[in-house]
Amino acid sequence: MLPTDAPAPLDLLHLDEAFVVVRKPAGLLSVPGRGPERADCVSARVQAQVPDALTVHRLDMATSGLLLMARGLESQRRLSRLFAERHIAKRYTAVVAGQVAGEVGEVALPLVCDWPNRPRQIVDHRVGKPALTRWQVLARDPERDTTRLALEPVTGRSHQLRVHLQSIGHPIVGDELYAPALWQRAADRLLLHACHLAFAHPFTGAALVFDDAVPF
């Protein structure tokens, strides 16, 4: 039984002998940060419910949505390989500033950490690592001057979606790192949600699909 002062348990959307799919809220770290004040995170809360749960991938603190954790080292190894080999399909929904031209497209810009201003990332054509994001328009809101997008990060660089959208002039609404002040204030959180995961079960090979409703 959890202590009365323990953080609230998270919604476990799937639990079997191999892995856990959890709904991460916006504003919660995926893994512990530095210092005791940053110990509360998804991995710690899930491990309080499922002690053998291990991290496989991460979402930014400001991002909400589906997060996958392995159960045990062998499952972690197999699922990590699926991510590394890009055999796990991920899709996000975002609301971005302005009216995006066209209906589908992609952004291929290399990214690197902006060390003097970390954790910010920047586009750098000299030393940046290749990064590719595909996007599709889901809806437009001319009154609010925003566009709702489906996003597919083909690569998985830190802050990739946020930097790529900023780089084409359409920062994500509510982004405190990359959006202008006006668009930071336009929402009480980053409007980015990991809404879809699809992959093969690490032991049985069965095709699996998980979807989560977008909360904005």
Write out the catalytic residue numbers: 60
Q: CA triplet 93, 96, 100: central angle to 5 degrees?
A: 105
Residues 202 and 216: their CA atoms lie apart, in Å, by 32
Residues 202 and 200: their CA atoms lie apart, in Å, by 6
Looking at the DSSP bridge assignments, the partners of residue 10 are none
Q: What is the end-to-end Cα distance of the chain in Å, rounded?
A: 33
Residues 90 and 57: their CA atoms lie apart, in Å, by 11
* Helices marked H in the chain: 42-49, 73-84, 160-167, 181-184
Residue with structure tokens 């991002």? 63
Residue with structure tokens 């995926």? 30
Count, in order, helices (H) and strands (E) of the chain: 4, 12
